[in-house]
A and B are shown apart, each in its own frame.
Chain A
Amino acid sequence: MKALMNMAMVSCKQAAFFQTKKSFNDLSLIDGLKLKMHERVCGACKTLGKDSALIDEAVNKILAQKNLQNLKLSEEQRNRILEAIK
C-alpha cells in the first residue's frame, strides 16, 4: 500500500508538467490519475490548473483574432524593405 502511495505521489513540479500535457490531450491514463489525486490535496496546483486552462482559452482567442487583424506596415518598415530589394 505504501509503495502504491509513493507511486501515486507526484511533486507540484511534476503535476504542473502533467497539466501541460493534458492541454495537448496527450496525458496517459495513469498520469491523469496521479494529477487528479495531487490536485485533490494541493490547492496551489488546483489554482494553477484553473489558470492554465484559462490561459489556454485566452491564447486561443488572441491567436484567432490575429487572423482577422489587418496590420499595416509603417512607412519606415516599407522603406526598409524597399531598400533591401534594391
Chain B
Amino acid sequence: MSAAANLNSHQSIAAWFAEYGDDMYSWANYKTSSKETAEDLVQDTMLSAYKSFEKYQAESNPKTWLFTILNNKIIDFYRSSNTQKSFNESELRGNAVEDDNFDNNGVFSKVQQPLWGNTEQHLLDNPEFLSVLNECIENLPPNWRNVMVNKYIHHKKGSLICKELGITSSNLWQMAHRAKLQLKSCLDLNWKTE
C-alpha cells in the first residue's frame, strides 16, 4: 500500500469503528456472553479489516463487511476455545464442582435448599435475581459458557453444538452439567431470598 492509500484506509477504518463499534461490541457480547471477549473480538475484527482493506469493495456496505469478519472471528473463537490447555483447566474446575456437590457415593454432600418456593414467575421477573445470575454466567469458565450460550441463543441440538465447538457429545454433557451445577452453587451463594 502506498502512503496515501495507507492513510486513506486507516481513516476509513477509524471512521467505521466510530460508527459501528458499539453495534459490533453489543453483538459480540450477545454471542459470547463475555464483555471481555467481545472487546477482543471487536479489536481483532478492526485489525483484520485494516489489513485486508484492499479486499473491501467500495460499493458494498461497510457494516455488512465488518460484521462478516466479526462473525468469522466469533466462529474462530469458539473453535479455538477447546484447546487441550483450556480443556485441562475446565476439567480441574469440573472435578472441584462435582466434589463440592457430591460425596464418593454420588449422594449430595449438602442439603439442597430450593432457590424459591412457589414464586417462580416472580423470580423470573426479578431484575436483581437476573442480574445475579448474569454475573454467574459471566464467571463460568469460557468453555462451559460457550456450551450454554450455544444452547440457549441458538436453540441448537446437542449434536450440532458438538460439531461447531469441535467436542464429543460426552464432553458436551459433562460441560453443560457442570455449568449447571456451578450456576446453582453460585446462586446459592450469592442470591439471598430475604
Give the interface of A toward B (CB within 8 A): 11-14, 16-17, 19-21, 23-26, 43-45, 47-48, 50-52, 54-55, 57-67, 69-73, 77-78, 80-82, 84-86
A47 to B130 CA separation, bound complex (whole angstroms): 20
Q: Are B21 and A78 in contact (CB under 8 A)?
A: yes
B91 at interface, CB cutoff 8 A = no
B63 at interface, CB cutoff 8 A = no
Query: Which residues on A sit within 8 Å (CB–CB) of B50?
Result: 85
Q: Are B22 and A71 in contact (CB under 8 A)?
A: yes
B87 at interface, CB cutoff 8 A = no
A84 to B43 CA separation, bound complex (whole angstroms): 7
Q: How far is the CB of A75 from chain B (nearest CB, A)?
A: 12
Query: Which residues on A sit within 8 Å (CB–CB) of B120?
Result: 54, 57
- Chain B positions 20 through 54: 1 when the CB is less than 8 Å from some CB of chain A, otherwise 0: 01110110011001010011001100110010000
Chain A facing B: main interface SS = helix
A57 to B47 CA separation, bound complex (whole angstroms): 37
Q: Are B124 and A54 in contact (CB under 8 A)?
A: yes
Chain B facing A: main interface SS = helix
Looking at the complex, which of B69-77, B78-86, B176-184 is the stretch in contact with chain A? B176-184
- Chain B positions 100 through 125: 1 when the CB is less than 8 Å from some CB of chain A, otherwise 0: 01100111100111111000100110
Q: Are A12 and B108 in contact (CB under 8 A)?
A: yes
Q: How far is the CB of B125 from chain A (nearest CB, A)?
A: 9
A74 to B10 CA separation, bound complex (whole angstroms): 21
A55 to B157 CA separation, bound complex (whole angstroms): 18
A63 to B130 CA separation, bound complex (whole angstroms): 10
A67 to B111 CA separation, bound complex (whole angstroms): 36
Q: How far is the CB of B114 from chain A (nearest CB, A)?
A: 5
Q: Are B33 and A81 in contact (CB under 8 A)?
A: no
Residue of B nearest to A77 (CB): B39
Partner of A63, one of B10, B38, B149: B149
Residue of B nearest to A84 (CB): B43
A58 to B134 CA separation, bound complex (whole angstroms): 9
Q: Are B43 and A59 in contact (CB under 8 A)?
A: no
Interface pairs (17), CB distance under 8 Å: A12-B106, A24-B173, A44-B108, A47-B113, A48-B112, A50-B114, A58-B129, A62-B134, A66-B33, A70-B26, A71-B35, A71-B38, A73-B25, A78-B21, A81-B17, A81-B42, A85-B10
Q: Are A55 and B187 in contact (CB under 8 A)?
A: yes
Q: How far is the CB of B42 from chain A (nearest CB, A)?
A: 6
